[in-house]
Amino acid sequence: MKLNTIKHIGRSDFVNMGPIRLRQPLPTNAIEMVDPFILLHHYGPYEISEKNNPFDLGPHPHRGFEPVTFLFQGEQLHRDSLGNESVVKAGDVQWTTAGRGIVHSEGPTKSFVKKGGYIEGIQLWLNLPADKKMIQANYQHVKHDEFNMVISKDKKVKTKIIAGELQNMYGKIATQTPVNAFTIEAKAEGVESLKFDSTHSGMLYLLKGKVSINYSDILELNQNQLIQFDQDGDGFNIEALEDSLLLFLSGEPINEAVATYGPYVMNTQTELLEAMRDYQMGKMGFLPAS
């Protein structure tokens, strides 16, 4: 296997999003986007209680992209204008195709807030090409024990296939564009090599621990936490220097103009104005009363 060279090693510094303090490895001053991935937020671990619950996000719209949540701790209630209502628990993934428009709300369940606990997750924004930005909205929720998994020869690295393909095993999420999404749990001294298509842009994000990538470059919590790969190889190698948790993402670049404003990702400023108008006119639907 020819190893992909590393284009950039980035930090994941904290930013404030209203009352929420979270890590933002993408975008940064150094990396504007990794096409087709526009935004990546890592929230938590954050202690939730009846006195402290900043993660209760009320109804809000999206259009033109796919907001994806990988939940690692806690549980969240998702409700949307398509009529979906589901409790997303640790290890689950919710994959929303906003398309022409969807209104949803999400936050820790009432029972979780009452008993208290920690919540941690990744929020990813995956772009849609122009010819799919106005498709019908859709929602997928896959539970943690339903995903296929690849286990390394030393039994110390478990790679969960959320979307895409690895070693002739496939993800449970149906995607609109060619995308891989894997979560990787590695025990100390575990080693694994993972392949991905050379047509894809690829990146690797460390949620916890410390790993060596391609036998040399180090990802470490609070130091360098994100690697962006060049499109010049077949994959990469991981060696866990301590127990670690990572998210790998790759996808075919869309190579189109990107215009963003708030919860909308379109191609032009005119389309953003149309999105705001359509939401105000109720064309993205309404969230049923709980």
Write the pLDDT tens digit of every residue in 226-260: 999 999 999 999 999 999 999 999 999 999 999 99
**Contact by Cβ (8 Å): 150, 196:** no
Query: 34: pLDDT confidence band, cut at 50, 70 and 90?
Result: very high
Instruction: Please indicate, yes or no, if residue 213 is contained in any of the structural domains.
Output: yes
pLDDT at 154: 98
CA contacts within 13 A on the Cβ side of 50: 4
Q: What is the pLDDT of residues 134-152, one digit of tens each?
A: 999 999 999 999 999 999 9
Residue in the structure block whose two tokens are 């990546």 = 40
Q: Facing residues of 192 across strands?
A: 238
What's the rounded mean pLDDT across residues 11-28?
92
pLDDT at 144: 97
d(C-alpha 203, C-alpha 39), whole Å: 12
Q: Any idea what DSSP says for residue 34?
A: B
Q: Any idea what DSSP says for residue 257?
A: -
**Looking at the predicted structure, is the pLDDT value of residue 18 above 70?**
yes
**Looking at the predicted structure, is the pLDDT value of residue 57 above 80?**
no
Distances (CA, A) of 64 to 32, 54, 263: 18, 26, 9
What's the rounded mean pLDDT across residues 150-159?
98
pLDDT at 222: 85
Instruction: Please indicate, yes or no, if residue 290 is contained in any of the structural domains.
Output: no
The end-to-end CA distance of the chain, in Å, is: 52
Q: What is the pLDDT of residues 20-31, one digit of tens each?
A: 899 999 999 999
Give the distance between the most distant pair of CA atoms in the chain: 57
pLDDT at 58: 84
- Encoded tokens for 187: 């025990």
Instruction: Please indicate, yes or no, if residue 154 is contained in any of the structural domains.
Output: yes
Instruction: Please indicate, yes or no, if residue 266 is contained in any of the structural domains.
Output: yes
pLDDT at 17: 85
- pTM for the complete prediction? 0.96
**Looking at the predicted structure, is the pLDDT value of residue 179 above 70?**
yes
* Boundaries of domain holding 167: 6-280
pLDDT at 288: 76
CATH number, domain of 76, equals 2.60.120.10
Q: How many domains in the chain?
A: 1
**Looking at the predicted structure, is the pLDDT value of residue 2 above 90?**
yes
Instruction: Please indicate, yes or no, if residue 207 is contained in any of the structural domains.
Output: yes
- Encoded tokens for 10: 């980035």
Instruction: Please indicate, yes or no, if residue 1 is contained in any of the structural domains.
Output: no
Instruction: Please indicate, yes or no, if residue 286 is contained in any of the structural domains.
Output: no
The mean-pLDDT minimum among 45-54, 185-194, 217-226 falls in 45-54
**Looking at the predicted structure, is the pLDDT value of residue 54 above 80?**
no
Q: What is the pLDDT of residues 72-82, one digit of tens each?
A: 999 999 999 99
pLDDT at 20: 87
Query: 290: pLDDT confidence band, cut at 50, 70 and 90?
Result: low
Buried-exposed string 164-187: b where 16+ CB fall within 10 A, e elsewhere: bebeeeebebebbeebbbbbbbbb
- Encoded tokens for 128: 């849609």
d(C-alpha 16, C-alpha 143), whole Å: 30
pLDDT at 192: 98
Instruction: Please indicate, yes or no, if residue 242 is contained in any of the structural domains.
Output: yes
**Looking at the predicted structure, is the pLDDT value of residue 130 above 70?**
yes
**Looking at the predicted structure, is the pLDDT value of residue 55 above 90?**
no
Mean pLDDT, the chain, integer: 95
Share of the chain above pLDDT 70, in %: 100
